[in-house]
Structure 1
Amino acid sequence: MSRNAEAASDPTHPDIAIIGSEIEGMYLARAAADEGLSVVVLDPRPKPGGQLLEGEMLFLDEPLGDNGQVLLQGRMKELFDAFKNGKIRKISEFRAYYDKLVKGIPMESGITLTGVDVRQDPDATGRFVDSVAYRTKNGEEKTVYPRYVVENTDYAALTSQLGLRRIPGMETVFGSPDGSPDYMAASLMLKFKNVDWAVFQKEVMKLSKAQREAKYGSETFVNTTFTWGFGKVGAGYDSGSDEWFLRGLNTVNQRDGEVLINALLVYGVNPSDEASVRRAVEEGKTQTQRIVSYLRKTLPGWSKAEVNGYPDYLYIRDFDRYETEYVLQGTDLMSGRMYWDNVSIGGYEIDLQGTQNSKWGSRKGNPDKYGMPLRSFEAKGYKNVIVAGKNVGASAVAYGSARIQAQTALAAESIGIILGQIKGKYELADMTPDRMKVLQDYIAKKYRITLTGVKANDKTKGLTAAQRELFNQGKLVIP
């Protein structure tokens, strides 16, 4: 029996096995399933949803081109539209959205990977994953033989087992005492209730720009939905620990006096170690109690604020990533480079969040827009391994922008469509520019996702070769 026939009749031979349930990979799952492929999700986390649902990272970062050009496309645009107009703000609303997205796709949570069988293709053109063995939460041993396998965790559960080279991380930008790997901080999302947002907005925004910045920090702004800035507020908080830091307050109004803040950074968390994560979550609860007392005294409209529960998990920004067929560089982004195999169009500032060795982090530049190629989502040397979300192939500098959820979600959706279209015709490793053009045209016509013909401003003009190299190393800022 052929692999295609097996996939249709045998759940142990799916077209696609996705490891992890982060929402980015779920867009790939949904698109592939809608294109007629069989998909299974094997999730090492005890509950589905990862960063979005367990970590409650509900402050969505929107990629924009120059002059505020909206770059959102695909299914995630629907989520952003509902988020911006206030229909999806609370965790229950995000959960309902997620459940609708994954409806009908088999998912096993709480699994443990026990083996990955890597084989060499008979024609010696590359390796492939033949099977993935795992243990269910009930102790049952199982194996799947997928046509394609997708890394969709926040700690490289699959790709860390494939013998791939780790892409050098933040230690190459900010350094580390012994050259050991370093990562952007994780966050525990802060949840509060009984905040009078109308008073908060009125009292802050009645100040002039100069007054706001003198009191609260640069770029401070409050509208009916979000806040930015408040760096001085964050800096004024004493966490009592070198491992915890409150930065500027990215706050979203969730309605009914409920707010969510993305600002509390924690350094040194290892997301592949459950004990490390649990310790950080518990310590973060104590920090949250201290922070609400601080904000009651510091911000108008917050005098009655209370803690509104705690997430079960962290927002993990950064961990080990492994080499892909093409690794994006900072100058690729800043020059607005496009690719023959574009699967997404990105456009978000290169924002390197703080690390243990550089608490504040750094912003390196603000690209107009740029392409994200299929090759940056294909594990190097593997014919059937795809990476999703935060596993994107990007250098430490490029990752500051490439990591943004909306951009990698669009890539995942495009790849899911592509896998559906090429099944039975050829393999992903056999992609050519002519074949890709046909697929991009199909995606544009059926799904209204534009991946070709996009022009971008080149913000690297005038840089010497030496300056370009310095930028790619994180040693130069492009204004």
Structure 2
Amino acid sequence: MKRLSLARFGLLLAALWVFAACERDTEPKRAASDPSKPDVVVFGSEMEGMYLARAAKDEGLSVIVIDPREKPGGQLIQGEMHYLDEAFEGSGKSLLQGRVKLLFDAYKKGDIRKKEEFVAYFNQLSDGIPIESGISITNVEIKEDPATNKRRVESVSYRTKDGTTKTVSARYWVENTDFSALTSKLGLQRIPGIETVFGGTKDYMASSLMMKFRNVDWAKFQQEVNKLGKKGIEEKYGAETTVTDTFTWGFGNVGGRFKPSSSDVFLRGLNTVNQRDGDVLINALLLYDVDPSSEESVRQAIELGRRETERVLPHLRQELPGWEKAEINGYPEYLYVRDYDRYETEYVLQATDLMSGTMYDDNVSIAGYALDLQGTKNHVWGSRKGVPDKYGMPLRSFIPKGYSNVITAGKNVGASAVAYGSARIQPNTALAGEVIGILLARLDDKRVLSELSAKEMKELHSYVQKKHGIRLSGVTGADKIKHLTDEQRRQLNEGKLVIE
């Protein structure tokens, strides 16, 4: 308890220092608007969009969050997806920047590993931002904007948890749910999904239920696995199997030796995090055909995941040293939803953009991560199509096509099915959210995001680097596909080519 209290205290001080520094350095262009007509409405409380909300508020805008889920926090809090993937450039240097770096720094030190510690972090991030949970959108008022020849959302009506109908107007609207609650109502074209890679009809990468265990002897686990040596580890547990003081990856053979109860569930390799005190969490249990827009589909998937976790436990006890006395340590209240409908943005990122290290005048993130396509029912193991160095994510990939005042966040980024395997990673889109939140406050009432000039973006880049330490320009990424022909590039974008 002493360590937890000190960790929270240290994290709180760090967060307050950052927030205070931002407020000292900020000169908002306008006072906060009428609370009944906020500057920014964020739909959903997934973490990536909360970075946008936090930045916008700290830069002087009024922000509210209206969330279709019953409780806030999305996959990180309710889904307890606490195996955090970090983005690195080809040399192995971390690409973390901005506020999300605070989370990862504390995570890597071991100060944030358990749910209550993540909740404390989320509460600091959302402090002072109203969140209304359990809503459902009933109407979206859309008008043509003659000044820009684009459409704009004027107002949104929604039903609250108690059945009351409300209507809200705002300058900007942010899609931050994991099931396109807002953008699905805007008449946009769906970006073709993972079915374009693995075949079949409309499809999505699997969702997951995190598996939580206690009474694991991590020291024994690490020692007994590693003493086998590289060849012995690969033969018994699978290629690339690794156990560190805090994480594991690999263990594909352990997943492969488990017989699922049905074709709707699958145990892949084990991404495991040591949460301290014998508690561990595993990201490995894949659930297929989950529709996150359907409460019933989500409920059924959670129930299936819980039943399968009970079957996985004896398998892990038998397979893994140090797990002989392991027990189930409860269940998350929600899923980790990787993939759902995404809708066309002003620019849709392609795999060739990522693998060539392309940078943009309107960069809002410097990103990295493998093109990691998780499995589907028809292709249970998924596929990795290549590993970029680093690449830019342009503002245009977060603006729905033809709209002047709507923004996408997190998993709603405009990326093809193959590019999405990398672009979807939390640090990549969390940074983009923070930068866009800052940008919204730098615009006057007559400017719209989709019409910013290269000069204006250059000024923004200078501002965020000077005031927030975020570097978005003057960065180059290695071109790993300069040798490819036009036909090979087409194949890469379609997921038919793997870059080693």
- Give the 3-state SS of the residue equivalent to 1:59 in structure 2: coil
Match of 1:308 among 310, 329, 340: 329
Q: Give the Cα–Cα distance (whole angstroms) in 1 for the partners of residues 476 and 343 of structure 2.
A: 29
Partner of 1:427: 448
Q: Give the Cα–Cα distance (whole angstroms) in 1 for the partners of residues 60 and 495 of structure 2.
A: 43
Partner of 2:204: 183
How far the C-alpha of 1:370 sits from its partner, in A, is 0.2
CA separation of 1:116 and 1:226: change in aligned 2, threshold 3 A: same
Partner of 1:464: 485
Q: Give the Cα–Cα distance (whole angstroms) in 2 for the partners of residues 360 and 294 of structure 1.
A: 19
RMSD of Structure 2 on Structure 1 (CA)? 1.3
Deviations 1:238-280 (A, max 9, x none): 1121111000000000000000000000110000000000001
Partner of 2:42: 18
Partner of 2:436: 415
Determine if contact 2:157/2:168 at 8 Å carries over to the other structure: yes
Match of 2:154 among 124, 130, 155: 130
How far the C-alpha of 1:24 sits from its partner, in A, is 0.3
How far the C-alpha of 1:9 sits from its partner, in A, is 4.9
**2:195 corresponds to which letter in structure 1?**
E
Determine if contact 1:7/1:13 at 8 Å carries over to the other structure: no
Deviates more, 1:427-436 or 1:75-84: 427-436
Deviations 1:23-48 (A, max 9, x none): 00000000000000000000000000
Consecutive unaligned residues in structure 1, runs of 5 or more = none
Determine if contact 2:248/2:270 at 8 Å carries over to the other structure: yes
**1:274 corresponds to which letter in structure 2?**
E
How far the C-alpha of 1:343 sits from its partner, in A, is 0.2
How far the C-alpha of 1:461 sits from its partner, in A, is 1.4
CA separation of 1:120 and 1:447: change in aligned 2, threshold 3 A: same
Q: Give the Cα–Cα distance (whole angstroms) in 1 for the partners of residues 182 and 31 of structure 2.
A: 21
Partner of 2:4: none
- Give the 3-state SS of the residue equivalent to 1:67 in structure 2: coil
Partner of 2:129: 105
**1:143 corresponds to which letter in structure 2?**
T
CA separation of 1:319 and 1:277: change in aligned 2, threshold 3 A: same
**1:371 corresponds to which letter in structure 2?**
G
Q: Give the Cα–Cα distance (whole angstroms) in 1 for the partners of residues 410 and 324 of structure 2.
A: 39
Partner of 2:98: 74
Determine if contact 2:29/2:441 at 8 Å carries over to the other structure: no
Q: Give the Cα–Cα distance (whole angstroms) in 1 for the partners of residues 87 and 254 of structure 2.
A: 26
Query: Which residues of 2 match residues 243-392 of structure 1 at below 5 A?
Result: 243-392=264-413
Structure 1 residue 39 and structure 2 residue 60: aligned? no
- Give the 3-state SS of the residue equivalent to 1:37 in structure 2: coil
**1:292 corresponds to which letter in structure 2?**
L
Q: Give the Cα–Cα distance (whole angstroms) in 1 for the partners of residues 92 and 481 of structure 2.
A: 20
Q: Give the Cα–Cα distance (whole angstroms) in 1 for the partners of residues 457 and 254 of structure 2.
A: 49
Q: Give the Cα–Cα distance (whole angstroms) in 1 for the partners of residues 120 and 444 of structure 2.
A: 31
**2:99 corresponds to which letter in structure 1?**
R
- Give the 3-state SS of the residue equivalent to 2:173 in structure 1: strand
Q: Give the Cα–Cα distance (whole angstroms) in 1 for the partners of residues 446 and 161 of structure 2.
A: 37
Deviates more, 1:201-210 or 1:416-425: 416-425
Deviations 1:141-173 (A, max 9, x none): 111101000000000000000000000001100
Q: Give the Cα–Cα distance (whole angstroms) in 2 for the partners of residues 377 and 9 of structure 1.
A: 24
Q: Give the Cα–Cα distance (whole angstroms) in 1 for the partners of residues 420 and 45 of structure 2.
A: 21
Query: Which residues of 2 match residues 134-173 of structure 1 at below 5 A?
Result: 134-173=158-197
Deviates more, 1:42-51 or 1:234-243: 234-243
Q: Give the Cα–Cα distance (whole angstroms) in 1 for the partners of residues 29 and 242 of structure 2.
A: 57
Match of 2:77 among 53, 58, 67: 53
Determine if contact 1:350/1:397 at 8 Å carries over to the other structure: yes
**2:415 corresponds to which letter in structure 1?**
A
CA separation of 1:92 and 1:285: change in aligned 2, threshold 3 A: same
**Would you identify which runs of 4 or more consecutive aligned residues in structure 1 move more than 4 Å?**
4-7
Partner of 2:230: 209
Determine if contact 1:12/1:146 at 8 Å carries over to the other structure: no
**1:77 corresponds to which letter in structure 2?**
K
The size of the alignment, in residue pairs, is: 473
Determine if contact 1:120/1:128 at 8 Å carries over to the other structure: yes
Match of 1:220 among 222, 236, 241: 241
Q: Give the Cα–Cα distance (whole angstroms) in 1 for the partners of residues 433 and 188 of structure 2.
A: 21
Determine if contact 1:6/1:13 at 8 Å carries over to the other structure: no
Partner of 1:229: 250
Q: Give the Cα–Cα distance (whole angstroms) in 2 for the partners of residues 309 and 354 of structure 1.
A: 26
Deviations 1:288-313 (A, max 9, x none): 11111110111000000000000011
Q: Give the Cα–Cα distance (whole angstroms) in 1 for the partners of residues 156 and 202 of structure 2.
A: 28
How far the C-alpha of 1:5 sits from its partner, in A, is 12
Determine if contact 1:185/1:316 at 8 Å carries over to the other structure: yes
Q: Give the Cα–Cα distance (whole angstroms) in 1 for the partners of residues 199 and 260 of structure 2.
A: 24
How far the C-alpha of 1:123 sits from its partner, in A, is 3.4
How far the C-alpha of 1:6 sits from its partner, in A, is 11
Partner of 2:25: none
Determine if contact 2:29/2:444 at 8 Å carries over to the other structure: no
**1:120 corresponds to which letter in structure 2?**
E
Determine if contact 2:97/2:431 at 8 Å carries over to the other structure: yes
Deviations 1:72-131 (A, max 9, x none): 000000000000000000000000000000000011001111111011113361000000
Match of 1:94 among 118, 132, 142: 118
- Give the 3-state SS of the residue equivalent to 1:169 in structure 2: coil
**2:42 corresponds to which letter in structure 1?**
I
CA separation of 1:124 and 1:431: change in aligned 2, threshold 3 A: closer
Consecutive unaligned residues in structure 2, runs of 5 or more = 1-27
Determine if contact 1:182/1:356 at 8 Å carries over to the other structure: no
How far the C-alpha of 1:319 sits from its partner, in A, is 0.3
Partner of 1:114: 138
How far the C-alpha of 1:138 sits from its partner, in A, is 1.1
Determine if contact 1:43/1:111 at 8 Å carries over to the other structure: yes
Q: Give the Cα–Cα distance (whole angstroms) in 2 for the partners of residues 103 and 235 of structure 1.
A: 44
Partner of 1:399: 420
- Give the 3-state SS of the residue equivalent to 1:68 in structure 2: coil
